Structures are given as structure tokens and as C-alpha cells.
């Protein structure tokens, strides 16, 4: 039975994605703020699509590291990109899923008829983190702001210690567990039996595939060149890819988070990276009226949380993917294109082990059997975050853009994009090739 015409017209579709090159933190983008990177991504997207920016109904951007001066960074990004100030904009944050939830929220708006043409994406910089003064000093300064009298100033100064004057760097640990993501990955390694050799092999694969994809021009159409102050040539390519990251070289690196028994090294973990990306989304009806060619339909998305934050922190894909497939009556064989975020090589392998485990399927999903491991010849075939870098709130945009492009180029029907995130969160998004409509 065919869907009503109105419902069909409201199908949310990806028209195109665009992103800045991803650059290593404290490198080329060291002088740029998050909103400036986001502005470049949005402006580049508008230029590449040729749309009338005034037609955009809403802009949504995700971010993880918040700059206090630009709390609604989406607004600053769109204004910096030259979009009309009459367009509303809002910012979302869900750890590394921030761009995914921005896209999902906008797609919901499109499906409900609240918007027809929208921009969703994410922006991130770790080069200029919000370094704070110590809590005792912060609170003392606020007391002085309320009462600047000499008497109160002396009372505040009397309560301070020399250590209170030292800067306080943002923590890289999970707030609840007090563990870094690397330490959480090591806990997963022990629980699910991931081997160091396999981890290094997978990391080498990511670099080799990313290098080949760049050489074949796979990413060129998506890149927004970034002109830097005082620099002649614009930045046009990701700079984390290594052409010498073979398994043998990676095997010589020492573990970082568990120096005696661990397997996570600087070589098989994604690097802190700066960058931004944006997607142009619309309803199918609006795309046709505007004579814009959609790449993929956003059919569904699932958000999930893990059971055990201490030993399953980055198992978001293994929690979200089975729910997504089950809800849409699909199985592993139906999905030809897979794009998963590679926070760590061991994290991908742990998720693969869980997806292939009948015991995990029974305990976590109530399924009689495992849905199966993702075939590697369908997974991240243009490389992944291990090679391309991981600006948290822009990675999801890269994954979705790549998945939509792969569907078109490989002439396949379905793609799944999935990510893990700090806090024990996960997401999976189902795309369908728009040519199949």
C-alpha cells in the first residue's frame, strides 16, 4: 500500500554535505574559533549547492566543547556564514553524537511539516579549550561581583590559597566514571577479548583506505577550502592520514592508558582534531519544487545507552544497530554501506564481537540469535576516524556525507551510520538511496 502523498512529500532527504578539512589540534586551525570553522562549513555548503540562503527555515549545529562567549554556536556560525538573521538557529549537545542528534531533530521537524529546507551539522575545536580558574577563585570573583566593597574583598582574599590561582584544564575523563575514553576502551578489551594485533591491523586498514580515497578524489567534492590568516595557500586536505602506518610500525608503539597490559596506543586511536561540517536537508517535496537532487532519504534513527558504563562505555553501535534493523524489518545482508565512527580500533572490534555474539543479542536485545558482524568489505571503505581525525561534533557529518555518496556511487539501497559517544551513548541512522524512490 502506497503512503499518502503528503507523507511522501515530507520524507527528509540529504541533498548534500560539506566540511572543512580535519586538522590536528593546535595546528593549522589554532587561531580559529569553533564558530568560525562552522561558518566556513555552512558558507561552503551554500556555495556548493547554489541555494538561496533565505529559503532555509532553520539551522541546527552540534558541539561538544562549548565556548562560553558563543553558547548558541549555531547562531554565530550561520551569521558568520552570511545567512539572513531572520533564520532561527539552535545548538545541541550529546557528546560525540551532537551532529547526529542535530540531523535527527531537523529530520523530525521536516517530517512533521515544521520545516522544508534546513541545515544541520557540527563544529569543534580543541585548540582553544575553555580553560578556567579554580573553583574557589571563581566563586570568590562572583562574590566580589555582587559586593565589591573592601571588606568583602579582604574576606575573599583571605579564603584563597596559592594553588587557587593555577589554571584548570578541562577534564578529558567521563564525569560519572572518572575514566578516560581510552581507559574505558581497555576495559572493553578485557571484557570482550580484543587482540592487539587485530587492533593494529584495523588501524592500518583505516589509514590505507583513507589514503586511497583521497588519491581517488572521493572527498574532494565535499571539502570547503579554509583560508588562514597570513597563509598563502588554503587548507584543502585532512592532515592526520599516515602513509607509513603499517601493522609492523604500529606494533612498535607502546600502550598509553594501560602501560603494562593494554593494547590502545597513539597509533590505533583517533586523534584530537579541529573541524566543522554541515548538511543541507529538505523534504522530498521541497527538493522537487526547488529542482534539487536528493542523495539519500533519512529513513529512521535510534538513540541508545549502554548497560555498564565501566566496561561497555563505547558499545553504542552494538546497542543501537540491532534496534534500528529490527524496527525496520531489515537484517545485516540488507545493508550494503556501513559507516561507523572509529574512536579506537579496539572499540570497533569490541562492537563487532558483540554484534556477532548470540549471548549478547539475547541479554541486551532479547533476540534469539546474533544479527551478525558487519562485513569489512562494506565497512568504512573510504577510511575512518582513525585516519581522517575526529573533531567530535563534525565527525557525524562526515559519516553521513560519505554514506550518502557511497550509496550513489555503489548504487546500493541502504546504508547505516553509527557512532559511540562519551557517557555510554550510541546512535544508528538508516539511509536509503534516493534513486530508489
What the block records as the C-alpha cell of 27 is 595546528
Q: What's the distance, CA 233 to chain centroid?
A: 27
The rounded distance, in Å, linking the Cα atoms of 347 and 190 is 12
For helices 345-355 and 316-327, angle between their N-to-C axes, nearest 10 degrees? 40
Lowest-confidence region among 39-48, 134-143, 338-347: 134-143
Lowest-confidence region among 79-93, 128-142, 237-251, 321-335: 128-142
Residues 245, 204 contacting (CB under 8 angstroms): yes
pLDDT confidence tier of residue 1, bands split at 50, 70 and 90 = very low
What the block records as the C-alpha cell of 54 is 533565505
Arithmetic mean of pLDDT, 27-49:
97
pLDDT(403) > 90: yes
- Residue 89's H or E segment, with its range, is strand 89-92
pLDDT confidence tier of residue 144, bands split at 50, 70 and 90 = confident
174-186 pLDDT tens trace: 999 999 999 999 9
CB crowding 19-37: b at 16 or more within 10 Å, else e: bbbbbbbeebbeebbbbbb
Domains of the chain, CATH where assigned: 181-217+298-436 (3.40.47.10)
The rounded distance, in Å, linking the Cα atoms of 202 and 225 is 30
SS3 state at 188? helix
180-228 pLDDT tens trace: 999 999 999 999 999 999 999 999 999 999 999 999 999 999 999 999 9
- Residue 328's H or E segment, with its range, is none
The predicted pLDDT at position 2 comes to: 52
The predicted pLDDT at position 102 comes to: 98
pLDDT confidence tier of residue 128, bands split at 50, 70 and 90 = confident
pLDDT confidence tier of residue 422, bands split at 50, 70 and 90 = very high
Residue 70 CB contacts under 8 Å (≥ 6 apart), including other chains: 33, 34, 35, 76
Largest CA distance in the chain: 78
The rounded distance, in Å, linking the Cα atoms of 340 and 335 is 13
Q: Choose among 102, 53, 100: nearest CA to 78.
A: 53
pLDDT(172) > 90: no
pLDDT(88) > 50: yes
The model's pTM is 0.94
Residue 195 CB contacts under 8 Å (≥ 6 apart), including other chains: 263
Amino acid at each position: 500500500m502506497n503512503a499518502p502523498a503528503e507523507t511522501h512529500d515530507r520524507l527528509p532527504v540529504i541533498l548534500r554535505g560539506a566540511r572543512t578539512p580535519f586538522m590536528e589540534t593546535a595546528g593549522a586551525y589554532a587561531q580559529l574559533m569553533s564558530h568560525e570553522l562552522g561558518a566556513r562549513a555552512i558558507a561552503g555548503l551554500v556555495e556548493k549547492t547554489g541555494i538561496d540562503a533565505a529559503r532555509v527555515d532553520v539551522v541546527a549545529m552540534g558541539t561538544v566543547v562549548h565556548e562560553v562567549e558563543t553558547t548558541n554556536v549555531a547562531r554565530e556560525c550561520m551569521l558568520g556564514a552570511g545567512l539572513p538573521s531572520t533564520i532561527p538557529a539552535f545548538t545541541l549537545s550529546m557528546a560525540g553524537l551532537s551532529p547526529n542528534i542535530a540531523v535527527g531533530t531537523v529530520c523530525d521537524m521536516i517530517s512533521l511539516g515544521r520545516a522544508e529546507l534546513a541545515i544541520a551539522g557540527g563544529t569543534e575545536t580543541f585548540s582553544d579549550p575553555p580553560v578556567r580558574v579554580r573553583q574557589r577563585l571563581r566563586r570568590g570573583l562572583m562574590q566580589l561581583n555582587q559586593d565589591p566593597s573592601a571588606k568583602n574583598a579582604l574576606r575573599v582574599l583571605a579564603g584563597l590559597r596559592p594553588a587557587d590561582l593555577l589554571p584548570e584544564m578541562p577534564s578529558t575523563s567521563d564525569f560519572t566514571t572518572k575514566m578516560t575514553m581510552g581507559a574505558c576502551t581497555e576495559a572493553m578489551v578485557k571484557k570482550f577479548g580484543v587482540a592487539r594485533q587485530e587492533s593494529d591491523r584495523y588501524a592500518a586498514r583505516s589509514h590505507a583506505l583513507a589514503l586511497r580515497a583521497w588519491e581517488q578524489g572521493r572527498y574532494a567534492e565535499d571539502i570547503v577550502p579554509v583560508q588562514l590568516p597570513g597563509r598563502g595557500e588554503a587548507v584543502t586536505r585532512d592532515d592526520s592520514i599516515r602513509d607509513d602506518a603499517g601493522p609492523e610500525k604500529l606494533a612498535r608503539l607502546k600502550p598509553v592508558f594501560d602501560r603494562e597490559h593494554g593494547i590502545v596506543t597513539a597509533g590505533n586511536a583517533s586523534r584530537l582534531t579541529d573541524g566543522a561540517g554541515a548538511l543541507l536537508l529538505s523534504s522530498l517535496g521541497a527538493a522537487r519544487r526547488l529542482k534539487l537532487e536528493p542523495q539519500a532519504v533519512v529513513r529512521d534513527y535510534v538513540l541508545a545507552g549502554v548497560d555498564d558504563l565501566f566496561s561497555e562505555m563505547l558499545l553504542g553501535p552494538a546497542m543501537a544497530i540491532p534496534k534500528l534493523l529490527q524496527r525496520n524489518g531489515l537484517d545485516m545482508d540488507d545493508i550494503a554501506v556501513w559507516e561507523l565512527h572509529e574512536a579506537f580500533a579496539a572499540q570497533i572490534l569490541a562492537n563487532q564481537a558483540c554484534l556477532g555474539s548470540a549471548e549478547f543479542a539475547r541479554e541486551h536485545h532479547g533476540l534469539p540469535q546474533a544479527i551478525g558482524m558487519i562485513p569489512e568489505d562494506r565497512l568504512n571503505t573510504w577510511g575512518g576516524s582513525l585516519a581522517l581525525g575526529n573533531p567530535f561534533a563534525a565527525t557525524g557529518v562526515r559519516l553521513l556525507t560519505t554514506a550518502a555518496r557511497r550509496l550513489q556511487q555503489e548504487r546500493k539501497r541502504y546504508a547505516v551510520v553509527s557512532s559511540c559517544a562519551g557517557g555510554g551513548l550510541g546512535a544508528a541512522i538508516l539511509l536509503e538511496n534516493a534513486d530508489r524512490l
